[in-house]
Amino acid sequence: EAVFNLFFRKNPFKGGFTVSCGLDYVVDYVNNFHFSESDLEYLASIQGNDNNPLFEEGFLHYLQKLEFSCDLEAVPEGTLVFPHEPLIKVKGPIIQCQLLETPLLNLINFQTLIATKAARIRNAAKMEPVSEFGLRRAQGIDGALAASRAAYIGGVDSTSNVLAGKLFGIPLRGTHAHSWVMSFETELEAFKTYAEALPNNCIFLVDTYDTIQGIKNAITVGKMLREKGKEMIGVRIDSGDLAYLSQKARNLLDEAGFPNARIVGSNDLDETIVNSLKLQEAHINTWGIGTKLVTAFDQPALGGVYKMSAIKEGKKWIGKVKLSEQAIKVNNPGLQQVRRFYLENECVADAIFDQRFEPKETFTILDPLDPTRQKKLDTKKLAYKDLLIPIFDKGKQVYQSPKLEEIRNHLQKEMSTFHSGIKRFVNPHRYPVGLEENLHQLKTELILNLRKKVRK
């Protein structure tokens, strides 16, 4: 038997936090973990370099009967997490732990990345609505669905992905395309026809030909709608100088009697551009974010890893580390848990500790990369909770997955308990995360012993 931990080494996007996501997919995968007859037939057909079967018949027979029997603990989705903290811990037969490595990383890495990106965009947009528009640029159908789900958890308000709306219950928002306008003799005719077809969903895309004239045409049709007891929702600008054009749009809409009409801004936006547009006093009050959200454009991979931290010899657990020339790549050993400490409802520090050597009162934590940076945490004076909770016990699910809306709300509560400094886009505050003193000592001893063996 062994223990493996899934974790990452750096916050994505040079940020100060990461949002855990993807656990529901993991639960579904583990519940359906098995090798089908077609799987086994394919594995039996694979040949080694001598043209003989790669796998023995006895091994394939073993896989046929294999049932998941591990303990699996995880950090709930929508929880803020930080480098070196295990998001998932798997304990059980080593072959099962190893077989889970690639699927767990695949399911957790991507959704965690997208949820984090969405949370950053949510912070930039403040209280203004954000819609995820990324289906056409996403990495395949499955990537698009996972991205829509993760983005909603991360804080966007809606999606244009209708299948994601059907499967996950995410609110749907969208506008007509440029091709709709181009299908008619004039833009005005296109807007009129759209208003007749969908009078209760009129956001007019105004930049197909000339944005200012497009806004005027939208106002004309908006007045026609109002005469019929309907109201134009707003306009969407998808190109050009969004700050200037949104200001012009606001003036024209207000003068025409549409002060509540929304101005939707899109066109390769991300949290940096949204923040910049706000500084330029753009009058955009709804944000459509596509490519740079669902592809995590500026960092397309989280870099999560899955490493063994302990192995069982008889009845005793032995800590394991992997050495490296880079200190950041030396994993932490032991049967790990993460304890988060609070002072008056604000998170103050996280301690990664070995459950076998849990301190009674005071946690002294050391920075994993700089042990001279230390912090003392008194369990009598600080509230705390352990982040890893049981999901499977000896292969049986013991965790009830919350609804998507509950996960989304959990993240918003999480965000409110952390100092605003970690949410900065430039030079964010570094939240204190450290190895508990006993775990740091164990890690140091294992490293020294291994280096002695290597030198021999």
Is-contact 264 283, C-beta < 8 A?
A: no
Q: What pLDDT, in 10s, does the model give residues 19-42?
A: 999 999 999 999 999 999 999 999
Q: Which fold has domain 175-284?
A: TIM Barrel (3.20.20)
pLDDT on residue 221:
98
Is-contact 221 202, C-beta < 8 A?
A: yes
Decide: helix, strand or coil at residue 385.
strand
What is the pLDDT averaged over residues 214-231?
98
Q: State the average pLDDT for the chain.
A: 96
pTM for this model (two decimals): 0.96
Q: What pLDDT, in 10s, does the model give residues 293-350?
A: 999 999 999 999 999 999 999 999 999 999 988 888 999 999 999 999 999 999 999 9
Q: How many CB atoms lie within 10 A of CB 248?
A: 15
Q: What pLDDT, in 10s, does the model give residues 411-438?
A: 999 999 999 999 999 999 999 999 999 9
What is the pLDDT averaged over residues 247-270?
98
pLDDT on residue 455:
77
Angle at 278 between CA 274 and CA 281, to 5 degrees: 145
Beta strands in 84-223 (DSSP E): 88-92, 130-132, 158-159, 203-205
Residue 456 clears pLDDT 70, i.e. is over it: no
Q: What pLDDT, in 10s, does the model give residues 342-395?
A: 999 999 999 999 999 999 899 999 998 898 999 999 999 999 999 999 999 999
Q: Where are the domains of the chain?
A: 175-284
Measure Cα distances from 369 to 280, 309, 399 in Å: 40, 18, 34
CA 249 to chain centre: 34
Task: Assign 453 a pLDDT band (cuts: 50, 70, 90).
Answer: confident
pLDDT on residue 327:
86
- Copy the structure tokens of residue 380: 């009598």
pLDDT on residue 454:
79
Residue 287 clears pLDDT 90, i.e. is over it: yes
Q: What pLDDT, in 10s, does the model give residues 69-120?
A: 999 999 999 999 999 999 999 999 999 999 999 999 999 999 999 999 999 9
Residue 170 class from Cβ within 10 Å (0-12 exposed, 13-18 middle, 19+ buried)?
A: buried
Long-range contacts of range 40-44, CB-CB < 8 Å, 24 or more positions apart?
Answer: 40/64
Q: What pLDDT, in 10s, does the model give residues 152-195?
A: 999 999 999 999 999 999 999 999 999 999 999 999 999 999 99
Strand-pairing partners, residue 376, are 364
Integer Rg of the chain from CA: 26
